[in-house]
């Protein structure tokens, strides 16, 4: 009995902490229910929130889909889309935040912290964007590239695991047939590869070339964790390569960071990343 009395205060404290954690998590949106939609329904919903850039000429044009980071497009994808059209690619940039009426402030507080809209849910957005692209008469659906920044790169990598295992992501009722048909390459810019990343324990398709651009010393999305993940994928025989940007912070190619974020825009490093993107596109150009 004396032992039970001694343990009782500790149990009460633990119970209080668990209840507090539950209410904090609920307030932050951790328990927001993910709506499962058909592919066609999700594609119709995200189409008004998807910008499309088309090169001059008759086409059909190869495609690159641009998946923004946790704070939304923020002008980054528009910059890269202009490079894409100059290379003869049609570019699509779905806005996962606008689709869900998530403001930039809410995104910073919830999406960027992993409390809401994790990559598994956003994977449905990517499959919906692919559906939009494939039904565009201007597009060459046999040559599709994917590029993602941070949370967007995490989304792409998670989507590849679902497709490889023929499983629907949390936001879709069913995985589309041949979900990654036509996808030939992925460029992952400073991706998240932490403990929530599905790629840590699940494989990718073996026929998609994956390039990654890491920020050395990245304090937000660890380059060490990403390199470890990429090394494992390469060792298993997948087409994987990566390089580094030195002397920059996470999100170095995004302007107008919050002053308190510790992230710094670097125009020179941004140009380096854009050159990597152009080289990536040109390596698949017909």
Reported as a single tens digit per residue, the pLDDT across 149-166 is: 999 999 999 999 999 999
If you average pLDDT over residues 164-188, what whole number do you get? Answer: 97
- In this structure, the answer to whether residues 96 and 48 fall within a common structural domain is yes
- Compute the distance between CA of residue 233 and CA of residue 241 in angstroms, rounded to an integer: 10
Residues 96 and 55 in one domain: yes
Structural domain span for residue 3: 1-31
Instruction: Return the ∠ at Cα 276 (arms to 94 and 153), rounded to 5°.
Output: 40
State residue 135's pLDDT score. 96
Pair (56, 5) in one structural domain = no
Cβ proximity of 127 and 159 under 8 Å: yes
**Minimum mean pLDDT range among 28-37, 44-53, 104-113:** 28-37
Instruction: Mark whether 22 and 94 lie in a shared domain.
Output: no
The long-range contacts involving 261-268, CB below 8 angstroms and separated by at least 24 positions, are 261/108, 262/219, 263/220
Mean pLDDT of 21-26: 35
Q: Are residues 154 and 256 in the same domain?
A: yes
- Are residue 239 and residue 100 in the same domain, yes or no? yes
Tell me how many degrees the CA angle 177-182-186 measures, rounded to the nearest 5: 110
Nearest to 229 by CA among 248, 246, 210: 210
Alpha-carbon separation of residue 208 from 145, 184, 225 (angstroms): 9, 5, 21
Residue-wise pLDDT for 53-93, tens only, equals 999 999 899 999 999 999 999 999 999 999 999 999 999 99
Instruction: State the sign of the Cα–Cα–Cα–Cα dihedral 207, 159, 62, 78.
Output: negative
Q: Do 41 and 25 sit in the same domain of this protein?
A: no
Name 49's bridge partners. Answer: none
Co-location of 9 and 87 in the same domain: no
| 166 shares its domain with 196 | yes
The SS3 assignment for 144 reads strand
* Res 1 pLDDT > 60: no
CA terminus-to-terminus distance, the chain? 79
115-145, pLDDT tens digit by residue? 999 999 999 999 999 999 999 999 999 999 9
Residue in 153, 156, 176, 199 with CA at minimum distance from that of residue 43: 176
Q: How confident is the model at residue 24 (pLDDT cuts 50, 70, 90)?
A: very low
Order of strands across the sheet that contains 61-67: 50-53, 90-94, 61-67, 139-149, 183-189, 209-215, 240-245
- 226-262: pLDDT as tens digits: 999 999 999 999 999 999 999 999 999 999 898 888 9
What span, in angstroms and rounded, lies between the C-alpha atoms of 77 and 67? 8
Angle at 204 between CA 202 and CA 206, to 5 degrees: 140
CATH of the domain at 251: 3.40.50.1820
Span of 25-29, 48-52, 78-82, 190-194 with lowest mean pLDDT: 25-29
Q: Evaluate whether 150 touches 221 at the Cβ level (below 8 Å).
A: yes
**Do 145 and 159 belong to one domain?**
yes
189 has which bridge partners? 149, 213
- Same domain (yes/no): 158, 201: yes
Name the domain count of the chain: 2
Q: How far is CA 61 from CA 16, 139, 144, 199, in A?
A: 58, 5, 10, 30
Same domain, 6 and 82: no
Q: Give the pLDDT score at 32.
A: 56
Distance (Å) of CA 161 to CA 126, 136, 175, 203: 13, 26, 12, 6
């Amino acid at each position: 009995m004396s032992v039970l009395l001694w343990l009782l205060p500790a149990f009460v404290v633990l119970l209080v902490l668990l209840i507090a954690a539950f209410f904090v998590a609920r307030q932050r949106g951790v328990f927001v229910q993910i709506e499962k939609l058909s592919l066609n329904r999700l594609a119709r919903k995200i189409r008004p929130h998807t910008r499309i850039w088309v090169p001059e000429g008759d086409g059909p044009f190869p495609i690159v889909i641009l998946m923004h980071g946790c704070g939304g497009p923020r002008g980054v994808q528009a910059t890269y889309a202009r490079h894409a059209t100059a290379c003869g690619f049609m570019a699509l940039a779905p806005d996962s935040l606008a689709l869900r009426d998530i403001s930039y402030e809410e995104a910073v507080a919830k999406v960027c912290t992993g409390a809401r809209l994790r990559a598994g849910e956003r994977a449905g957005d990517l499959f919906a964007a692919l559906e939009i692209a494939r039904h565009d008469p201007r597009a060459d659906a046999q040559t599709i590239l994917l590029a993602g920044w941070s949370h967007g790169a995490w989304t792409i990598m998670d989507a590849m695991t679902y497709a490889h295992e023929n499983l629907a992501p949390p936001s879709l009722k069913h995985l589309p047939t041949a979900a990654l048909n036509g996808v030939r390459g992925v460029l992952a810019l400073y991706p998240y590869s932490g403990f929530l990343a599905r790629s840590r324990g699940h494989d990718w398709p073996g026929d998609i070339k994956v390039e990654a651009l890491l920020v050395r010393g990245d304090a937000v999305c660890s380059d060490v964790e990403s390199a470890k993940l990429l090394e494992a994928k390469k060792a298993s025989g997948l087409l994987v390569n990566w390089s580094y940007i030195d002397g920059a912070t996470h999100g170095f190619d995004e302007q107008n960071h919050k002053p308190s974020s510790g992230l710094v825009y670097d125009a020179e490093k941004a140009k380096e990343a854009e050159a990597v993107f152009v080289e990536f596109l040109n390596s698949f150009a017909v």
